[in-house]
Amino acid sequence: MRVLVINSGSSSLKYQVRDTDTNEVAASGLIDRIGEGAGGPADHGEAMDLVAAALEGELVQKPLDAVGHRVVHGGERFSEPVRINNEITRAIERLNPLAPLHNPANVLGIRAITAKWPDMPQVAVFDTAFHRTLPEHAWRYAVPDSLYRQYGIRRYGFHGTSHEFVTGRAAELMGVPLTDFNAVVAHLGNGVSLTAIQGGASVDTSMGFTPLEGLVMGTRSGDIDPSILIFLQRQGMSADEIDTLLNRESGLKGLFGDNDMRAIVDAAAAGNSKARVALDIASYRLAKYIGGYHVAVGGAHALVFTAGIGENSADFRALVASRLGALGVKLDGEANLVRSGGPRVVSAPDSAIPVLVVPTDEEQAIAEATAAVVQRSA
Ligand code: ADP
């Protein structure tokens, strides 16, 4: 099947055409500066016109069978990918307050496709869906129940499409049936999240009500004492200022000044103390969470690294593993240095828990999920 995968942001739209039979990427691109003037597209409708124009030659050869949308927030309703119709679009729109930057853009992307190609099957694939199996003790915050009932304040988790894809590949690599597979999966990109996998399902994850909770990220703080927000507000900072501070100016960027892992590792090697401290904080926090999730799943069969840093930074993997000695984790120095696009084992044969690197591919996962939903509903 030929699937156009759309990832709409508030001012950008990333797309890929995937062939789900051959797994070939037939076309891909990015339209940015939507609605920012300066000659860019005025809205998501115009952006879709640009995508269609860019794909013209491609689509003449072979038309599209379906469109798959990455939708950030599926709330409590969506636990799997769904075929889109007007009711589903409105349901995604009703979740706007929970993801004010992302869901409105996803809805604009869906409506732009509906306007352009009214008969095209469309499927929504949710970033939160894989975490709908979290038990209540993992998703509830210890705050009055009314906050949950009134505002839906609970942990939702994100990066679900990536965690699900990587979990499946890792179980395959280990030769363990998915329903018997326990693991700790670390998605380390600009956003960072850790997921506890028990019997192939997500039973805990480090991102919460929003992607801000949990680990040290490129520009996000992860866990901090919530009183810091109250303190800053009393110092006169507005909600928007605190939002920007914790989501865009913190994490590795806040600690070192740059969120590119290569730059941080190079600077640390050259003796830069801020870079050293940033790496120590990020790896220490991650190691603590990994220990916690190893307990949560009742003993992991594997520790899995994925995404930009997880797949490419042998230095960061080694730093994290060096803090996991108490779990008997041991990397194989040479295997850890191998650069490859395939899933691989990077631990030593006598490591108590095998350590894997499994490249993620969210577009492939979305294309496959879209094809499966369309075939089922055909
Ligand atoms: P996003 O969350 O934006 O999709 P990615 O998964 O692409 O992020 O990961 C981005 C991170 O991966 C950056 O911190 C970048 O420095 C890091 N990264 C990418 N390639 C390498 C590499 N070869 N070595 C170390 N870090 C890398």
Residue 211 in contact with ligand 1 by CB distance below 6 A: no
The radius of gyration of the chain's CA atoms, rounded to the nearest angstrom, is 21
Residue 260 in contact with ligand 1 by CB distance below 6 A: yes
For 316: left if phi > 0, alpha if psi spans -120 to 50, otherwise beta; the answer is: alpha
Report the nearest atom of ligand 1 relative to the CA of 190: 2
**Secondary structure string (H, E, C) spanning 120-136:** CCEEEEECCHHHHHCCH
Q: How far is the CA of 53 from the centre of ligand 1 (A)?
A: 30
Residue 312 in contact with ligand 1 by CB distance below 6 A: yes
Q: How far is the CA of 307 from the centre of ligand 1 (A)?
A: 7
Residue 359 in contact with ligand 1 by CB distance below 6 A: no
Residue 292 in contact with ligand 1 by CB distance below 6 A: no
Dihedrals φ, ψ of 152, to 5°?
70, 30
Helix (H, G, I), strand (E, B) or coil at 372: helix
Alpha-carbon span 185 to 205, nearest angstrom: 9
Query: Is 258 among the catalytic positions?
Result: no
The pLDDT, as a whole number, for residue 329 is: 98
How would you classify the pairing of strands 13-19 and 2-8? Answer: antiparallel
Alpha-carbon span 15 to 7, nearest angstrom: 6
Residue 313 in contact with ligand 1 by CB distance below 6 A: yes
DSSP conformation class of 184 = E
Judge contact between 185 and 163, C-beta under 8 A. yes
For 36: left if phi > 0, alpha if psi spans -120 to 50, otherwise beta; the answer is: alpha
Judged by average pLDDT, the poorest of 15-29, 39-53, 79-93, 342-356 is 39-53
Q: How many CB atoms lie within 10 A of CB 263?
A: 15
**Which of 2-16, 24-38, 45-59, 123-137 shows the highest mean pLDDT?**
123-137
pLDDT > 90 in the chain, percent: 91
Q: How far is the CA of 264 from the centre of ligand 1 (A)?
A: 12
Beta bridge partners of 205: 195
pLDDT, tens digit, 9 for 90 and up, residues 354-368: 999 999 999 999 999
pLDDT, tens digit, 9 for 90 and up, residues 334-360: 999 999 889 999 999 999 999 999 999
Report the nearest atom of ligand 1 relative to the CA of 259: 14
Dihedrals φ, ψ of 199, to 5°?
55, 35
Q: How far is the CA of 309 from the centre of ligand 1 (A)?
A: 5
Alpha-carbon span 1 to 259, nearest angstrom: 38
pLDDT > 70 in the chain, percent: 100
pLDDT, tens digit, 9 for 90 and up, residues 208-266: 999 999 999 999 999 999 999 999 999 999 999 999 999 999 999 999 999 999 999 99
11 has pLDDT over 90? no
Residue 310 in contact with ligand 1 by CB distance below 6 A: no
For atom 25 of ligand 1, which residue has the closest CA?
313
- Domains of the chain with bracketed CATH: 2-126 (3.30.420.40), 176-357 (3.30.420.40)
What is the H or E stretch that residue 286 is in? Answer: helix 273-296
Q: How many CB atoms lie within 10 A of CB 241?
A: 13
Residue 217 token pair: 């990220």
Which residue in 65, 127, 315, 361 is the catalytic one?
Answer: 127
| DSSP calls for 4-35 | EEEEE-SS-EEEEEEETTTTEEEEEEEE--TT
Residue 254 in contact with ligand 1 by CB distance below 6 A: no
> Could you tell which of 32, 190, 256, 366 is best to mutate to test the pocket of ligand 1, judged by most ligand atoms within 8 Å of the CB?
190
Alpha-carbon span 272 to 78, nearest angstrom: 46
pLDDT-derived band at 289 (thresholds 50, 70, 90) equals very high
Q: How far is the CA of 368 from the centre of ligand 1 (A)?
A: 24
Place of tokens 């828990």: 353
Closest CA relative to residue 277, chosen from 267, 292, 288: 267
